[in-house]
Amino acid sequence: MTITDIHRVYFIGIGGIGMSALARYFKFIGKEVAGYDKTETPLTDDLSSHGISVHYEDNLALVPGHFLNAEETLVVYTPAVKNSHKEYQYFLKNHFIIKKRSEVLGLITKDSFCFAVAGTHGKTTTSSILAHLLKETGTPLTAFLGGISEDFNSNFLLEGTDYSVVEADEFDRSFLRLSPNVACITSMDADHLDIYGDAEELNKSFLEFVDRIKPGGKLFVRNGLPLEGITYGIEDDSDYCIRNIKVEHGAYIFDLGTPEKTYSGVKFNKPGRHNLLNGLVAFAMAIQAGSPPYRLAEALSTFKGVQRRFTYRVKNEDFVFIDDYAHHPTEIDAVFDAISEMHPNKKVLAVFQPHLYSRTRDFGDDFAKSLSRFPSVVLLEIYPAREEPISGIDSAWLMEKMTNSYKKIINKSELVSEIKSQNPEVLVMMGAGDIGLEIIKVKKELEYAR
369: annotated binding-site residue?
no
Compute the distance between CA of residue 322 and CA of residue 16 in angstroms, rounded to an integer. 23
286 φ/ψ sector (left φ>0, alpha ψ -120 to 50, else beta): alpha
Instruction: Tell me the pairing of strands 141-149 and 163-168.
Output: parallel
DSSP sequence for 189-228: ----HHHHSSHHHHHHHHHHHHHTSPTT-EEEEETTSSS-
4: annotated binding-site residue?
no
Compute the distance between CA of residue 165 and CA of residue 183 in angstroms, rounded to an integer. 10
The partner residues of 98 in beta bridges, in order of sequence, read 75
85: annotated binding-site residue?
no
Q: Residue 92, Cα to own-chain centre: how many angstroms?
A: 30
Say which DSSP state 389 is in: P
121: annotated binding-site residue?
yes
- Torsion over CA of 85, 91, 92 and 95, rounded to 10 degrees? 180
343: annotated binding-site residue?
no
73: annotated binding-site residue?
no
Alpha carbon separation from 264 to 257, 272, 273, 290 (Å, rounded)? 8, 20, 18, 21
Residues ≥6 apart with Cβ < 8 Å to 351:
377, 378, 379, 380, 415, 419, 427, 428, 429, 430, 435
125: annotated binding-site residue?
yes
Which residues sit in the known binding site for ATP?
A: 119-125
Which residues sit in the known binding site?
A: 119-125
